[in-house]
Amino acid sequence: MNEKNGITVKDKKSWFRRNGPVLSTTGPISVWMLVFVLIPMLYIIFISFMTRDVYGGIVYDFTLDNYKEIIQPLYLKVIWKSLKLAFITTVICLLLGYPLAYYIAGKPSKTAAKLIMLVMIPYWTNSLVRLYSVNLLGATNGPINNILMDIGLISEPLDMLYSDGIVVIGLLTAMLPFSVLPLYASIEKLDKSLLEASRDLGARPHITFLKVTIPLTMPGIVGCVLLVFIPSLGMYYVPEALGGGKVMLIGSLVRNQFLVTKNWPFGASLAILLVLMTLAMVWIYTRVSKMDDLEVF
Amino acid sequence: MAAKIKKRRKRLKIGGTLFAFLVYAFIYTPIAVMVVFSFNDQRINYYWKGFTFKWYEKLFTDSDLLSYLWLSLFIAVLATVISVIIGTIGALGLMRFEFMLKKVVNTSLYIPVVIPEVVMGLSLLMLYESVNMPLGVTAILLAHVTFCIPFVVIIMRGRLAGMDKSVEEASMDLGANRLTTFFKITLPMLIPGIMSSAFMSFTLSIDDVIISNFVSGPTSTTLPVKILSMVKVGLTPDINALATIMVMVLLLGIILNSVFQALMKKRASINIKTYF
């Protein structure tokens, strides 16, 4: 990797003296990011236009077939379902996370810090073990069914596993902590005097909420959507652990192209599709928040 | 009228507490199940049979889980150290200096944060395969450093933005060179940021499933990837025991961290008092 970015070295000593601080601080990070992030990303784009040979290798022939293959109803269905489940998860995260964040923001700062910590602790337990617990809870002979049958609410065990519903619950257990943080950050910043002003001017509470609170906390809401929606799309282990392979989402589809069927070009084109969806979300985020939070880089 | 509002406020408050409690209950139920079943005297965890420590015993006597845990810890510690060093110095450089590729580097720093992890994983897999690098410990380590660096940079930028630059300038004016200034002035001021980015990197690395799954070799795997391979056939309670221990250790870490931060604050305030 040539980190001198093409600058011709004329006088070696003075060049080093001039650029020493810049090179020593930004050199390692630049090289690392270029080699491990930028080049692989460009390589995916490149591969997505290549052809796969019968043995799973890559033939360097330009083609658009990988993208055409995505339009097959089978794959469109998977993409649609992924978007649907990610959307449902995001909405529930907002419905649960927003009131919780609002509640926490209303507490004195020390209590609030503790309550936020309480939200984050589960994130530090192995996510797969947590998912497996969800799996156990929902099993046909699991605790929930046992309790419901014992108290006579149901006579037949409910078939909860391997359904879209339990996949959403799994995604929620993985994602909910992340949704609370950005929401809390923006609600906490909210100037309470504006709410009072709205009330003094005669607005009813729900009007104040819709016209003042929600617009002012929009960056947090969109941040939450970003943090939940994008990972939900690519999170292949949740449907695998809870859906028993019956619920196929785009993340699993991409993974399978690479680790199972070895169709790299097609997998790459699916990955590009995922990235495009992500970029669309980020674009919306920067439009809405207008704070260029992500552009501070 | 006032009484009515008061009553309504009280109702809202109770409703809020109840709601918060329910959300917390939802978040904590899987963890409660995990802890409870780690003490359950039965292999298949559907019923509560009786209290036992045998899974903890099994974990420490005959189970290969610990070897996966050690590998995970080894990778997490190394990844933390490398990413904190590169990220901290890099954040400093990216903030203070202008150079040709700055925009490109900034963009590539933001890619791992926003794109789905599965894309990140497969891009690294493709990179390794194209240069014929064997998958395994080194591959996982490099991958972890890659996704930790951006988070370190984010945290350090936040810290650097709030830092008083004049202190550094004063140090240079008083005759210290750049390196001395960095080690004697800048670095001590960055310690809290370094601590939190180290904590962040460590937790990201130790719990990573998706990216590690792509780049781990057939023989060397981290604990989460191992658990992923077992989850389809069903986890044994010794994994519950291990996860319980891990969350306890992390809780202890959080408590120690907050104590440490409080001590630092106290020391800082004493220092200021002695100066003025």
Contacts across the A-B interface (CB distance below 8 Å): 267
Cross-chain Cβ contact B214/A43 below 8 Å:
no
Predicted local confidence at residue A3, as pLDDT:
47
Q: What is the distance, to the nearest Å, from the Cα of residue B235 to the centroid of all Cα atoms in its chain?
A: 24
* Chain B residues closer than 8 Å to A267 by CB: 122
Cross-chain Cβ contact A237/B209 below 8 Å:
yes
ipTM surpasses 0.85: no
The answer to the question of residue B100 being in a domain is yes
Q: Which two tokens stand for residue B113?
A: 């944060």
* Per-residue pLDDT tens digits for A172-213: 988 888 788 888 888 887 777 887 888 788 778 778 877 888
β-strand pairing of A58-59 with A51-52: antiparallel
The answer to the question of residue B155 being in a domain is yes
Q: Do you know the residue count of chain A?
A: 297
C-beta neighbour count of A102 within 10 angstroms? 20
| Domain count along chain B | 1
* Per-residue pLDDT at A293 exceeds 70: no
Q: Which two tokens stand for residue B136?
A: 């395994």
On whether the CB atoms of residues B247 and B241 are closer than 8 A, the answer is no
Q: How confident is the model at residue A128 (pLDDT cuts 50, 70, 90)?
A: confident
The answer to the question of residue B28 being in a domain is no
Percentage above 90 pLDDT, chain A: 8
The answer to the question of residue B216 being in a domain is yes
Question: Which helix (H) or strand (E) element contains residue B210?
Answer: helix B210-215
* Per-residue pLDDT tens digits for A133-183: 888 887 777 777 777 888 877 777 777 777 788 888 888 988 888 788 888
- What are the structural domains, with CATH classification, of chain A? 72-296 (1.10.3720.10)
Cross-chain Cβ contact A297/B107 below 8 Å:
yes
Using a CB–CB cutoff of 8 Å, tell me whether B46 touches chain A. yes
Phi, psi of A76 (to 5 degrees): -60, -35
CA dist., res. B276 & res. A97, Å (int): 46
Helix pair angle (A73-105, B2-37), 10° resolution = 120
Return the DSSP state at A294: G
Residue B229: domain span: 63-240
* Per-residue pLDDT tens digits for A45-103: 998 888 887 776 777 878 888 888 888 888 888 889 889 999 999 999 999 999 899 89
Closest CA to A89 of A249, A272, A216: A249
CA dist., res. B34 & res. B237, Å (int): 9
Query: What is the b/e burial string over A4-21, where b = at least 16 CB atoms within 10 angstroms of the residue's CB?
Result: eeeeeeeeeeeeeeebeb
Instruction: Determine the 3-state secondary structure of B161 from DSSP.
Output: helix
A281 → chain B, closest CA residue: B114
* Per-residue pLDDT tens digits for B102-154: 888 888 888 888 888 899 999 999 899 889 888 888 999 999 999 999 989 88
The answer to the question of residue B245 being in a domain is no
Rounded to a whole number of angstroms, the distance between the first and last alpha carbons of chain B is 54
pLDDT averages per 10-residue partition of chain B, 276 residues? 73 85 90 85 71 81 83 93 92 82 85 88 90 88 93 85 77 81 81 85 87 84 86 79 86 82 72 49
CATH of the domain at B167: 1.10.3720.10
State the best of A19, A124, A137, A269 to mutate against chain B, taking most chain B CBs within 10 Å. A124
The answer to the question of residue B151 being in a domain is yes
On whether the CB atoms of residues B19 and A99 are closer than 8 A, the answer is yes
Instruction: Work out the burial of residue A152: count CB atoms within 10 Å of its CB; fewer than 13 is exposed, 13-18 middle, 19 or more buried.
Output: exposed
On whether the CB atoms of residues B37 and B240 are closer than 8 A, the answer is yes
Residue type, B195: M
Cross-chain Cβ contact B118/A267 below 8 Å:
no
The answer to the question of residue B71 being in a domain is yes
* Chain B residues closer than 8 Å to A139 by CB: 46
* Per-residue pLDDT at A9 exceeds 70: no
The answer to the question of residue B5 being in a domain is no
Cross-chain Cβ contact B105/A44 below 8 Å:
no
